[in-house]
Amino acid sequence: MPEPQPTTPSGEPHRTAEAVDALAALRAALRHRTVAGPDKVDAEFDGLHADLRTHFPLLHAACERVDLPDHALLLRWPGRAADRPVVLMAHQDVVPTNPRDNWTHPPYEAVVDDGFVWGRGTLDCKGSLVAICAAVETLIADGFVPTQDVWLSFSSDEEVAGTTAPLAVAALQERGVDPWLVLDEGGMAVTGAFPGVSEPMAVIGLAEKGLVVLELTATGAGGHASTPPTPSAPAILAKAVLALEKRPAPASLPDPSVRMLERLAPLTRPPMRQVLANVDRARKPAAAALAKLGPVTAALVRTTYAITQLAGSPAQNVLASTATATVNMRVAVDDDVDTAVARVRKTVGKDVQVEVLDAYEPSPVAPIGEAYDLLEQVTAEVMPDVAPTPYVVMAATDARHFQRVWAPVYRFNPFRMTESQRNSLHNVDERLEVSSYLEGIDWYTTLLRRI
């Protein structure tokens, strides 16, 4: 049965040939289980690369490929000049799926149903990868040559915090590339993400939080469960965990969040409008108020603590001589790793050992300047009903490796996502609306014409 002709979110039809080709390319990419890390299967990445060559022959003919290990892709599309090059990023790998999870459609069959393409990687991040390639392929077919060199950097191990994105950075440095704009995944066009704002907003990431993974350990007497001591190791640990929940990190408003709230002010009603419009003059009370509105706004204004793993006794009738908890911290851009860890040590007390398992600092903050303005202009043209705004990305992306070297690094996926879709990230029923995917291709195409 032929695919129905997709339309844009505004109802305008896309040209059928372009739409079907782009959708077929995405579906082909989604069928490869490109999981990185210990479970990596080289043949899955090889198959993805073969499908990209099949669906985007003009791109592969026009672009110079830089050899990188571990299936990373770094391609140069030559422009008329190279003094203000652009880097477009995405990653090939996906998080694994649990066979016990009950998906509406199998995660690697790329089923199109109810206007969506379903599958692992649609949102994170093969949708962006294939949309970028489709935009480049379309422009080459039209005889277009970009004003500046365009680099396509597609890492293969983002989900496991691997090495291929840093290798791409090193390769660009070796070639003297000084990007005018770097664009990775991160923000998106969302609805209902901020209290009091009903209009869709395009959140464009200027920075991302840092990460600390801690292991909390409490010790106590072991032995048989028939003679429990007081306090036990689990009780000591539980007290520490509760202390972290009861005494969160202090709330504050870094500059990117202030800029976001000021942009959102006209979209809200009084008295919220007045509060947000004047937030720069009242950062402390505004941060305190936002911290109480819910987990999403609380994450905007503070370093967060998430207790993700707990472990104790190996048997139901054996006392735990050691109890451990894993804490996943996302460090605010106006905080730092050492300060955040010291705060945790003070909160949990001397009876609990705190070990840092992994850590990296928050990224620098990208400037709101000419490159950022272009992202807003393209968004306003392609998505006229969506309000663009700066943003701090809560999760980790490959962009942080680029931002350690270059300033104009931004994070935005030009796709519309409902709350349900956002909740499907790294979860069951990940899916991307076909019309939004095609609109995203239009977005990348428009961007490439404007650089």
pLDDT, tens only, 374-402: 999 999 999 999 999 999 999 999 999 99
How far apart are alpha carbons 397 and 395 in whole angstroms?
A: 7
How far apart are alpha carbons 373 and 75 in whole angstroms?
A: 25
CB 180, CB 199: distance < 8 Å: no
> Average pLDDT for residues 165-194, to the nearest whole number?
97
The values of phi and psi at residue 85, to 5°, are -70, 160
> What's the pLDDT at 18?
54
CATH fold of 208-360: Alpha-Beta Plaits (3.30.70)
> What's the pLDDT at 9?
52
pTM above 0.85, yes or no: yes
Chain-centroid distance of CA 246 in Å reads 28
What is the rounded average pLDDT for all residues in the chain?
A: 94
Structure tokens at 161: 């915090």
The strand pair at 304-311 and 181-190 is best described as unpaired
> Would you list the domain boundaries of the chain?
16-207+363-450, 208-360
> What's the pLDDT at 77?
99
The strand pair at 81-91 and 181-190 is best described as parallel
Which of 27, 62, 142 has the alpha carbon at shortest distance from 434?
Answer: 27
pLDDT greater than 50 at residue 17: no
How far apart are alpha carbons 40 and 248 in whole angstroms?
A: 37
Q: Where is 416: in which H helix or E strand?
A: strand 409-417
Which of 32, 42, 35 has the alpha carbon at shortest distance from 159?
Answer: 35
How far apart are alpha carbons 23 and 425 in whole angstroms?
A: 20
> Average pLDDT for residues 52-66, to the nearest whole number?
97
Cβ-based neighbour number of residue 318 at 10 Å: 13
CATH code for 16-207+363-450? 3.40.630.10
The strand pair at 201-208 and 387-393 is best described as parallel
**Percent of the chain whose predicted confidence (pLDDT) is above 70:** 96
